[in-house]
Homo-oligomer: A and B are copies of this chain.
Amino acid sequence: MKEAPYLALEARFHRLGALREAGRVLQWDRATMMPEGGAVARAEQLATLKVMGHELLTDAALPDLLAAAESDNTLDDWQRANLREMRRQWRHATALPSDLVAALSKASSACEMAWRRARPADDFAAILPDLARLLDLVREVAAAKAAQLGKSPYEALLDAYEPDGSTAEIDRLFDRLAAILPDLIDDALAHQQAMPAEIPPGPFPIATQRAAGLRLMAALGFDFAHGRLDVSLHPFCGGTPDDVRITTRYDEADFTRALMAVLHETGHALYERGLPASWRRQPVGAARGMSLHESQSLLVEMQVCRSREFLAFAAPLLRASFGGDGAAWGADNLHRLYTRVQRSLIRVDADEVTYPAHVILRYRLERAMIAGTLDPASLPQAWREGMQALVGIAPPDDRNGCLQDVHWYDGAWGYFPTYTLGAMTAAQLFDTAKHADPAIVSGVARGEFAPLLQWLRTNVHAHASRYTTVELIARATGRPLDAAVFEAHLRARYLA
């Protein structure tokens, strides 16, 4: 009898979870299969699923059910964690008055549409009114959620992507990185001077690139009975834990980027697939948050697949696949290619060493804009100064500056820090894993990834959202997230 409110909640969130899964498949289809003429109808379908999901979350019966379940002492740890995540979703859904939700949705769409024109036209002035209007609404949202969640306004936004994320923690980690990165970038650039890298001669037929990607996905443990690889404009990992859909995009003149995108998304996919089947479609059964999700893709991409060991395994396979020949196909050259450092203007093209500098810039700027201490009219100037200080290069225009990422123009504020939190988490998890089981690194060199996957399954994937991110990292690695581990990884790879 006592469990009744909790079980009623599970039934409601199961339904919500199934609606969200349906939406994720429709989103995947939109990006990979849908003819362009289907866009308007698809938007209707997705909006309907979203509104009906929102209605489930804001149903008048939920507050009493949540309160009753929270006073139930018979629940086990997983059930209590599930309830905590239900409460979080309920808080986010009910924090905002419906007119603010509608205004935000409208302003985001308008600003995103304007951004599509403003970016290629390099016209920040044209988008500034839309951006300012959207920022006003986002700050209103942040204030409302802050009151409901008991957090600071920025943390209230962050919480949607990084549950329980803390700015004090991010500042501690990012300040340390920002302090060491300028010198580290200088040193890495100097270090690689003596090590030229050569792109193997192409062309690289798409079918061959795809086959090589599938081969390496399978080696890493991707289960094709529960997933697919397709093509989209921007690589992503979509679908559901039982049917994980990853994508890449191919360039017949250069196989290296498409291949690494496949491996990156495979890391995301392995996380989704490793979530506990017994908690499917329940809040606690979902991936923990964006930083942990990114840690899984970056662990596979950066820690494993750009390593000398992995490339020793992959180089002969790639050479044979493409029928290549010569030193350009050697593991040494491929490793140099895949660890090239460069001061560049565009975040998504950045290498492992400079990437955090791009992210720290965005984090600091968006915090200032949410706090009201940076006027969006001053964004281009602040961007150029920040790039010069952090990356050591400043953009000649806004197209390659503050207009390059869709996030702010689409209403996604508080997302950026998760990229670099993920990179640091990846380094710390892999550092622990390789010491815990020596078969992990030796396996990578032989193309045997079962020991690594086993460690990730046990220490990360299987926990889903049972713990907070901070708790999960502490349990898995024995200590809080520490920038020093990431720093040591960079020094070992780029300066040794």
On whether A240 and B38 interact (CB within 8 A), knowing A15-B48, A228-B33, the answer reads yes
CB of A217 to closest CB in B, whole Å:
13
Q: Are A37 and B243 in contact (CB under 8 A)?
A: yes
- Interface membership of A448, Cβ < 8 A: no
On whether A35 and B227 interact (CB within 8 A), knowing A15-B48, A48-B18, the answer reads yes
* Residues in chain B near residue A25, CB distance under 8 A: 25-26, 29, 42, 45
- Interface membership of A60, Cβ < 8 A: no
Taking CB atoms and an 8 Å cut-off, the chain A residues in 376-432 that contact chain B are: none
Pick the contact of A37 from B15, B47, B226 — CB < 8 Å?
B226
Taking CB atoms and an 8 Å cut-off, the chain A residues in 217-248 that contact chain B are: 223-228, 239-243
- Interface membership of A371, Cβ < 8 A: no
- Interface membership of A77, Cβ < 8 A: no
CB of A197 to closest CB in B, whole Å:
37
Contact flags (1/0) for A268-311 with B, using CB distance below 8 Å?
Answer: 00000000000011000000000000000000000000000000
- Interface membership of A36, Cβ < 8 A: yes
Contact flags (1/0) for A1-33 with B, using CB distance below 8 Å?
Answer: 000000000000001001101100110010001
Q: Which residue of chain B has the shortest Cβ distance to A46 in the bound complex?
A: B22
Taking CB atoms and an 8 Å cut-off, the chain A residues in 39-82 that contact chain B are: 40-42, 44-45, 47-49, 52
Q: Are B224 and A41 in contact (CB under 8 A)?
A: no
On whether A228 and B35 interact (CB within 8 A), knowing A25-B26, A26-B22, A242-B40, the answer reads yes
Q: Are B281 and A38 in contact (CB under 8 A)?
A: no
Q: Which residue of chain B has the shortest Cβ distance to A49 in the bound complex?
A: B22
* Residues in chain B near residue A29, CB distance under 8 A: 25, 29
- Interface membership of A320, Cβ < 8 A: no
* Residues in chain B near residue A15, CB distance under 8 A: 48, 52
Q: Which residue of chain B has the shortest Cβ distance to A18 in the bound complex?
A: B48
Task: State the main secondary structure of chain A at its contact with B.
Answer: helix
- Interface membership of A34, Cβ < 8 A: yes
Q: Are A37 and B228 in contact (CB under 8 A)?
A: no
Q: Are A34 and B243 in contact (CB under 8 A)?
A: yes
Q: Are A48 and B19 in contact (CB under 8 A)?
A: yes
Q: Are A21 and B35 in contact (CB under 8 A)?
A: no
In whole angstroms, how far apart are the Cα atoms of A212 and B15 in the complex? 44
CB of A423 to closest CB in B, whole Å:
30
* Residues in chain B near residue A26, CB distance under 8 A: 22, 25-26
* Residues in chain B near residue A40, CB distance under 8 A: 242
Q: Are B281 and A35 in contact (CB under 8 A)?
A: no
CB of A304 to closest CB in B, whole Å:
24
Q: Are A226 and B18 in contact (CB under 8 A)?
A: no
CB of A437 to closest CB in B, whole Å:
28
Q: Which residue of chain B has the shortest Cβ distance to A43 in the bound complex?
A: B18
CB of A231 to closest CB in B, whole Å:
13
* Residues in chain B near residue A240, CB distance under 8 A: 38, 41
* Residues in chain B near residue A19, CB distance under 8 A: 45, 48-49, 52
CB of A483 to closest CB in B, whole Å:
39
* Residues in chain B near residue A33, CB distance under 8 A: 33, 228
In whole angstroms, how far apart are the Cα atoms of A281 and B180 in the complex? 58
On whether A41 and B223 interact (CB within 8 A), knowing A15-B48, A22-B48, A34-B243, the answer reads no
10 cross-chain CB contacts under 8 A: A15-B52, A19-B49, A19-B52, A21-B41, A21-B44, A22-B49, A25-B26, A33-B228, A37-B225, A41-B243
- If A19-B52, A35-B225, A35-B227 are given as contacts, then 12 extra A-B residue pairs at C-beta distance below 8 Å, sorted by A number, are A18-B47, A18-B49, A21-B44, A22-B22, A25-B25, A25-B45, A29-B29, A33-B33, A37-B223, A41-B280, A44-B281, A52-B52
